[in-house]
Amino acid sequence: MKQRPLIGVTTQTLHAIDGIPEALPASWVMNQRYIHAVMQAGGVPVMIPLIAEDPATLESLYQRLDGIVVPGGIDVDPAYYRRARTPELGRLDPARDTTEIVLARWALRDRKPFLGLCRGLQVLNVATGGSLWQDLEAERPESIKHDYFPTAGFARDHLAHPVEVAPDTRLAEALGRASSPVNSMHHQGIRELGFGLEPTAWAPDGLIEAAELGDRWAVGVQWHPEMFEPGAPAVGKLFAAFVDAARRDDESRLA
């Protein structure tokens, strides 16, 4: 019997989060919802430490994984997409930026399944040469409200707006529908699309809400499907499709 696939889930630096006391020890953390979503889909989750300063160890860990999940989190440093910082830019996590962008590029190179969620879509875009709006309200004033943050009193599963899904895409197949209401907890978004990425979902204001690479299993969505149960409109079979892709052996992925 084939073993359950090993799925790497990246972490974030504890002290990059607002309000964390400096006295706490240095730690890497991640929301448990991502871990449970991978488990529900049949994967075995492994939390990835942010060890970009030791690429040999990071790559040794990466080689043992069958798929990569990059979860939500704080802003990506605009230096990675050749832009100066704006005043609206939020907190940064340099170790996380470097680790995730490296992992994304390795996964795309090796055709290893990749799933990006919220920040994870932005990492996928930056890793392929794209750029981001650093703050939608300031830089894209025609945007609808996207920043329904829990810190402002909104539930993490608050359905903020619908997205329209492109047909004949991995996302459409996973969601099983042409449109879906989604939650929304971001103030950044895709500005210039990365090389090879295809947009696969849009918010009512035209902002790209999902993208994928057509020739391999690499999908990113701007919302947080981990907050919903499998089969809900915003998630469908997304995690199951990702884990199924990761279950394939290297030979079939590289064929």
Catalytic residues: 118, 224, 226
Asked if residue 104 lies in contact with residue 48, where contact means CB atoms within 8 angstroms, the answer is no
Residue-by-residue DSSP string for 155-181: -TT---EEEEE-SSSHHHHHHTSSEEE
Nearest to 77 by CA among 149, 132, 130, 140: 132
Query: In degrees, to the nearest 5, what angle opens at C-alpha 63 toward C-alphas 59 and 66?
Result: 135
Cβ count within 10 A of residue 9 = 23
Asked if residue 208 lies in contact with residue 118, where contact means CB atoms within 8 angstroms, the answer is no
CA distance 131 to 170: 23
Q: What residues contact 45, with CB distance under 8 A and at least 6 apart?
A: 7, 8, 9, 34, 35, 38, 39, 69
